[in-house]
Homo-oligomer: A and B are copies of this chain.
Amino acid sequence: MNERMRIGELAERAEVTPRTVRYYESLGLLPHGEREGGGQHYYRPEMVLRLRKIEQLKKLGLSLEEVAGVIDLYFTDPSGLRAKHKVLGMLRAHLATVDQKVGELQQARDELQAHVVRFEQWLEVQKKG
């Protein structure tokens, strides 16, 4: 009963809109939901995870085009040893760029915290003086 849902439920579970789902399908970011006889599309629950991952990567500052270039690394495991090694290389490269970005943001956070601390200490001194 948890198997396969329509676009409305998928969108809701992934906290996006149906429009966004269709837009991503049109960009090849998301496989098209399969039709069952009628004209409507049905999606497997794992697509929720894929959508969430796409949103995560967007928050890292990747464009949808860039996301399209890496999203498969997360969700399709390649058949064949050769392909697996290739994908591993790409995953490492991807991890490196993500590390870079997160590192910069972490630094911004640390600078902000340092600023807050300086501020607090200044006020501490005033209270004693």
Contacts and interface: CB of A to CB of B under 8 A. Distances in A.
A105 B113 CA distance: 18
A27 interface: no
Interface string A60-104: 110000000000001000000100110110011011001101101
Interface of A is mostly: helix
Contact of A102 (B56, B95, B106, B123): B106
B95 A113 contact: yes
A99 B81 CA distance: 40
27 contacts: A56-B104, A56-B105, A57-B108, A59-B104, A59-B105, A59-B108, A81-B123, A84-B122, A85-B123, A88-B116, A88-B120, A88-B123, A91-B112, A91-B115, A91-B116, A91-B119, A92-B116, A94-B112, A95-B112, A95-B116, A98-B108, A98-B109, A98-B112, A99-B109, A102-B106, A102-B108, A105-B105
